[in-house]
Structure 1
Amino acid sequence: MSAFDHLQVFTAMHASPHAQLELSAQLGDGLAAALWSNRNDARDYQAPSHHTLSCYIADGTGTFRRQKPADKGAPDKLCIMPAGHESNWIVNGEIRLAHLYVGEAQFALGCTRLLDREPREMQLHEATFLDDPQQAVRFRQLVALNWAEPGERLLTNSLAHAIIDHAVLHQTGRREGLRVKGGLAPHQRRQLVDYIEASLDQPLTLGELALRCNLSEYHFARMFRASFGLPPHQYVLARRLHRACQLLRVGHMALGQVALACGFASASHFSNRFRQALGATPGEYRAAFGG
C-alpha cells in the first residue's frame, strides 16, 4: 500500500488520465506534498479526511469550481480544502499546482499551540482563489527544493509547518452552532499545556498527567483526546520533537544533550523516534539547517 493511498485528494488526482504527477514526497510529521500538471479535466473531491492547501504555480486561468464558473484561477492563487468538505473542479486549458496534505493531528497541534483552543471547536475555512503573497512565496520556495535530496527535503518540512501555522492563524475560526460536551475544562487544558512544556526534559507518565486533573488514567485519556485532538502520548512526543527541532536549528548542543533536554532516555532512542517522525536522523536535520 502506497504511503499516499489514504490521501483522497491525491488519489483522485492520480486517477485522472489527464493529470501528471511531477513530484511527491512524505515530509514527515504526517505531512505530504505533491506537484501536479493537469489539463482539460474535471475532478471531484468527496469529503476527504485530511486538509489540502494548494497554490497555482503556473497557468490555471481556465480553472474554476463547478458551482462558481465566473471565478477563475491564476498563478499564485491559493485554495484551501478542509477535511470533510466537498468540491468539484473544472480545468480548461493547462495548470500546474502544488498540494500540501495536512492530517488532522497537525491541525490539532496548531490549534492548541497557536490559538489556545480545543481543535474540535475550530474549523479551517474553505477558500477558493485566495490572494496571500506570503503563502505563495512559501509554496514557490517549497517546489524549488529537491524533494529527493534528504537535506533539502528536511527544509520542505520546515516550510510546510510555516504554511500550516499561517493557515491556522489566518484561515481558522470557531465552528458555528457547536455545543462541546466532555473533555477537559479550559483551565485544566491550559495548565496541562504549561506543565508539559515545562517538563519536556522529564519522564511524563499518563498517571502523573491524570493525577494533575484528579482523574483516573482511563477517563483522563478519553478527555485529553477530546480536548487536544490526539492521545496524550502522541501530543507529548510531538512537543518533544518540536523542542528538539528548535534546539537542533540553533546552537551546537551535543546530540546526547538534546536528547536529554527533550526527555528521551538515550541518544539512540531519540534518534529512532526522530527518524520515524521526520525520515532523517537528528544529525542530518542539523546539517540541513547549516548547524
Structure 2
Amino acid sequence: MTFHPNMESHVEGVSPVDGLRWRAWSGMLADVWDVECRAGAHGQYVSPAPRLFVMLETESDAAIDLMVHPQAPQRMTFDRRNPMCFIPAGLPVWSFMGTLGRLRHLDIHLDVPALASRFGSRFDLAALNAASFSFHDERVLALARLIALECCEPGDLDALYADSLAAALLTALGKVSREPEHPASGLAPRRLNRVLDHIARNCSRNLPLAELAAVAGLSTSHFAQAFKVSMGMPPHRWQMAQRIERVKALLEEGHVSVTDAALAAGFADQSHLTRAFRRFEGTTPGAWLRKRLG
C-alpha cells in the first residue's frame, strides 16, 4: 500500500473497543472503528486527504457536534437521521460528543492523484473542496455499509468489486460525473477476446480494473463502459461469475472439497465462496451440489 491518509488527531474521552478493521485499494483507504465515548468526549482532526465519515451504529439517539473552529458559534450536528459528512483535505474540524456510549463509524480516505488518473475528466477536483456536514443519502449509506462489511470480513477483497464500489460511491457523492446516458459501443471482438482470455487464465487471482483496461488498450472508464455493453455486466461481476463456474465444475468432478474448490478458484476461504455463491446462485455450494446430484 503506497497511499496513507496521514490524518492528525487529538481525542479525549474516546476509547477503541475492538481493533481497527481496514481495506485499501487503488484510490481509497477505508477503516472501521468501534469506540466507547464518555460524556463530554471531544476531538480535533485534520488530514491532507479528503474523507467521508459515516456513523454506522450508535447505542442511543445521541448526536455529534462538528465545528470548523473550537470557538465557532455554529455547530453542525449529525446523528442517525443525518449520519455522514464529507470533509475536504486540510480542513480542521473539532467534534464534541454528549452522552453517546458505543459508536461504530467508517472513514473513507480518498487518494486524489490515483482517482484523478483513473477517472480523468469525470473526476471533479473542485467538488472535493466542498464540505458537506450532517447529510443523509440512502445510496451513499448503502455503499458505505457494503464497504464497511468488506473491511470487517476476513480474506482478500476482490479488486474489481472494490473498484466498482469506489466508482459507485464517488458517483453518488457527486465527486465523479455519471457515465454518458447513451452507452458507449462495445469492445472490438479482438480486444474482447484478449480480455476474456486474460480473465480465464487468471481467474484465481484478483484482477484490478486498470490491468484489464491495459490488456484492452483503453482507459479504465472507457473499458468499463465498453465491457458492460459487450457482456451485459461489469467486469468484476463477469470475473466472479467465472470463478463460480470454476467452483461448480470442480465440485461436479467430485474429487475436491468445497474448501479446496474455493481456494482453487481464487476465493480466500469457504465463507468467502459461500457469500459470493449465494449472491449468484441463491444458495450455498453444498446445497447446490446436493440438488445437482439428486
**Misfit runs of 4+, over 6 Å:** 200-203, 240-243
Question: What is the identity, as a one-letter code, of the residue corresponding to 2:107?
Answer: H
Give me the whole-angstrom Cα distance separating, in 2, the residues matched to 1:86 and 1:26: 24
**Structure-2 change in CA distance of 1:141 and 1:92 (3 Å):** same
8 Å Cα contact 1:82/1:125 also seen in 2:
yes
Q: Is residue 248 of structure 2 the alignment partner of residue 247 of structure 1? A: no
Give me the whole-angstrom Cα distance separating, in 2, the residues matched to 1:158 and 1:72: 33
Pairing partner for 1:289 from 252, 276, 294: 276
The number of equivalent residue pairs is: 211
**Structure-2 change in CA distance of 1:28 and 1:98 (3 Å):** same
Partner of 2:42: 42
Partner of 2:97: 91
For the residue of structure 1 that corresponds to 2:42, the secondary structure is strand
Q: Is residue 143 of structure 2 the alignment partner of residue 138 of structure 1? A: yes
**Structure-2 change in CA distance of 1:49 and 1:98 (3 Å):** same
Normalised to the residue count of structure 1, the TM-score between the two structures is 0.52
Per-residue CA deviations over 1:76-127 (Å, capped at 9, x if unaligned) read 5111112232322222222432222222245325643xxx436555535311
Give me the whole-angstrom Cα distance separating, in 1, the residues matched to 2:166 and 2:240: 18
Partner of 2:14: 18
8 Å Cα contact 1:53/1:81 also seen in 2:
yes
For the residue of structure 2 that corresponds to 1:43, the secondary structure is strand
Partner of 1:107: 115
Give me the whole-angstrom Cα distance separating, in 1, the residues matched to 2:118 and 2:94: 28
Partner of 2:79: 74
**Amino-acid identity (%):** 9
For the residue of structure 2 that corresponds to 1:107, the secondary structure is helix
**Structure-2 change in CA distance of 1:5 and 1:36 (3 Å):** farther
8 Å Cα contact 2:3/2:111 also seen in 1:
no
**Structure-2 change in CA distance of 1:134 and 1:169 (3 Å):** closer
**RMSD after superposition:** 4.8
Structure 2 unmatched runs, 5+:
178-183, 196-209, 225-233, 247-262, 281-294
8 Å Cα contact 1:65/1:87 also seen in 2:
yes
Please show how residues 1-291 of structure 1 align to structure 2 within 5 Å. Answer: 6-9=4-7, 12=9, 18-20=14-16, 22=18, 23-29=20-26, 30-39=28-37, 40-46=40-46, 48-56=47-55, 57-58=57-58, 59=60, 61-66=62-67, 67=72, 69-75=74-80, 77-94=83-100, 95-108=103-116, 111-112=119-120, 116-117=121-122, 120=125, 122-123=127-128, 125-144=130-149, 147-150=152-155, 153-154=157-158, 158=161, 161-162=164-165, 165-172=168-175, 236=214, 239=220, 245-251=236-242, 283-284=266-267, 287=273, 289-290=276-277
Give me the whole-angstrom Cα distance separating, in 2, the residues matched to 1:246 and 1:144: 18
For the residue of structure 2 that corresponds to 1:79, the secondary structure is strand
**Alpha-carbon offset, residue 17 of structure 1:** 5.7
8 Å Cα contact 1:98/1:143 also seen in 2:
yes
**Structure-2 change in CA distance of 1:168 and 1:44 (3 Å):** farther
**Structure-2 change in CA distance of 1:253 and 1:142 (3 Å):** closer
**Alpha-carbon offset, residue 173 of structure 1:** 8.2
Give me the whole-angstrom Cα distance separating, in 2, the residues matched to 1:5 and 1:12: 18
Give me the whole-angstrom Cα distance separating, in 1, the residues matched to 2:88 and 2:21: 20
Give me the whole-angstrom Cα distance separating, in 2, the residues matched to 1:4 and 1:37: 27
Normalised to the residue count of structure 2, the TM-score between the two structures is 0.52
Question: What is the identity, as a one-letter code, of the residue corresponding to 2:266?
Answer: G
Question: What is the identity, as a one-letter code, of the residue corresponding to 1:166?
Answer: L
**Structure-2 change in CA distance of 1:12 and 1:159 (3 Å):** same
Partner of 2:256: none
Question: What is the identity, as a one-letter code, of the residue corresponding to 1:126?
Answer: A
8 Å Cα contact 2:161/2:237 also seen in 1:
no
Give me the whole-angstrom Cα distance separating, in 1, the residues matched to 2:242 and 2:14: 48
**Alpha-carbon offset, residue 160 of structure 1:** 8.0
Give me the whole-angstrom Cα distance separating, in 2, the residues matched to 1:252 and 1:5: 29
Structure with greater Cα Rg:
2
**Structure-2 change in CA distance of 1:80 and 1:289 (3 Å):** same
